[in-house]
Amino acid sequence: MGIPRLVLFPLVAYLVGKNDFGLFATALSFTLLVGIHPANGLATGLLRNLTHYQDERRSQLSWTATVMCHKFLVLSLSIALVVLLVIRLVGLVNTVTYLCLTFLSFSLYAENEFMLILTPLRYERRFREHALWFLGCSLCVLALGVAGCYLFGVAGLAFGMMAANFVMFGLAARWHYRGDLHYDPDQATMLRWEWVHLSIAGMLVLAGPHLNRIVLRFYADNESVADLFAATGIAYVFIAPITNCSGLLLSMISGYKSLKDISVRIYKMLFAMIVGGSVSGMLLFGIGAPILLRLLFPGFGGRASDLFGILIWMIPANIIIAVVRPLITKFADVSWIPRVNFIILLVTLVLMFSLIPHWGLEGAAWSISVGSVMAAALRIIVFWIIYKRAAVQSQPYSDNCGGGEY
């Protein structure tokens, strides 16, 4: 999402204006409630389990996950598209909104399958190849998205993004497909439990920012959504250098079997990353965010820039989350993850419906920042619990412990 945030979305805002951009941002928020969570849940399940298989069985497990994702997406998107058609026929949305939602929903299939096909590259630590595939996808989305937007407005933008994602999915599938692999029901059964928990967990925790924009649109207008989208998008630019390391960190620790296997030196490095990233990120954000807003969204003015003083607290919170979350995802019991994320979503919903009706755009910004800080604090607590448990379990049995206890 780095190139769309920095290049595509500012161009779209310039081409279509603030109101239509706010409409597109709201439609995008609806589809991102599902987003790439189906594939991300399976990808995380793969990274948790690939270390337990030999090479050939790893390829088989990856293919089984891809087929599982395909079946789920075909069924769920078919239902979603029927619902969208009914909503349009009864007049609840206009044609432009319907087309945006439809094209963006179709795009989810390609985005999820593309991500899942490339997941083995992360386990194999072929990070450059993985990054180049996603860079190619971003550039393709940029080219076709701008062309579609120029010709047909925000509906054309949605169509261009969908077309680009299907092009890249087709190329990745052709490049990585092996004809000797088949779906393994036993592996699917093993993956299904973790998949459900991890996908639901992802939807719960990442639904917050998208729900925030949807709720804001209910109480305000498209232009307010556009202001929030622009301000948070710029905030994520400053967070991205470390948050993008979150997936890299999960890939790098996928070969470890327990927290006790990770050295003290690595923990110190992660702590330094949190402190250094938070301090430097807040300083750079305070200086650079207003400049970026003027450069990228010149027509947005004071309402968006007024949010930066509120959103600055997102930066340390999200950096903590980016570092701690992979450790929890890899080593915590899988049933913990959706529970933690449900608590985070519940807190976010309480904040949204407490603040947005009374303070509108500023309330939405505060709900994001406070929700991020509370999410970071909760993850630190959970990490400390599983770290202490791992330390206890790693202690050898002793004849003096009585009853064989640790």
Residue 405 — very low, low, confident or very high, per pLDDT cuts 50/70/90?
very low
Specify which of 22-36, 155-169, 229-243, 280-294 reaches the highest per-range mean pLDDT.
Answer: 155-169
pLDDT value at residue 350: 93
Average pLDDT estimate for 256-275: 85
pLDDT at 295 > cutoff 50: yes
* Confidence grade of residue 61 (pLDDT, cut at 50, 70, 90): confident
Q: Which residue in this structure is represented by tokens 């593309």?
A: 114
Rounded to an integer, the average pLDDT of 220-227 is: 92
Q: Please work out, in degrees rounded to the nearest 5, the angle formed at the alpha carbon of residue 194 by the alpha carbons of 191 and 244.
A: 105
> Residue 279 above 60 pLDDT?
yes
Question: So what's the pLDDT on residue 406?
Answer: 26
Q: What is the mean pLDDT of residues 297-302?
A: 80
| pLDDT for position 204 | 67
Whether residue 260 is predicted with pLDDT greater than 90 in this model: the reply is no
Alpha helices (H) along 257-335: 264-296, 302-305, 308-311, 314-331
| 108-140: burial string, b at 16+ Cβ within 10 Å, e else | bbbbbbbbbbbbbbbbeeeeeebeebbeebbeb
Burial bucket for residue 374 (CB in 10 Å: 0-12, 13-18, 19+): middle
Residue 354 pLDDT: 94
pLDDT of 401 > 60? The answer is no
Q: How high is the pLDDT of residue 246?
A: 78
Q: Is 396 in a helix, a strand, or coil? A: coil
Q: What is the pLDDT of residue 215?
A: 92
Between 258 and 67, name the one with better pLDDT.
Answer: 67
User: Is the pLDDT reported for residue 27 higher than 90?
Assistant: yes
Give whole-number Cα distances, 223 to 5, 211, 215, 236, 355, in Å. 17, 16, 14, 20, 18
Mean of per-residue pLDDT scores for the chain: 85
Weakest mean pLDDT among 27-31, 51-55, 118-122: 51-55
Q: Is the pLDDT of residue 79 over 60?
A: yes
pLDDT at residue number 365: 95
- Residue 116 binned pLDDT confidence (cut-offs 50, 70, 90): confident
In the structure, what pLDDT confidence band is assigned to residue 35 with cuts at 50, 70 and 90? confident
Q: What is the mean pLDDT of residues 236-242?
A: 81
Can you give the length of the chain in residues?
406
Mean pLDDT of 21-48: 83
Does residue 195 contact residue 68 with C-beta atoms inside 8 Å?
yes
Q: Once rounded to an integer, what is the mean pLDDT over residues 135-147?
A: 94
* pLDDT band (50, 70, 90) for residue 377: very high
Nearest to 229 by CA among 239, 216, 240, 242: 216
pLDDT tier, 146 (very low <50, low <70, confident <90, very high otherwise): very high
Question: Taking 50 as the threshold, does the pLDDT of residue 232 lie above it?
Answer: yes
Residue 406 gets which letter from DSSP?
Answer: -
Residue 50, CA atoms < 13 Å, CB-side half-sphere = 29
Tell whether the model's pLDDT for residue 65 goes beyond 70. Answer: yes
Record the tokens describing residue 80, joined without a space.
Answer: 């979603």
Domain boundaries, the chain: 1-183, 216-392
Cα separation of 335 and 8, whole Å? Answer: 38
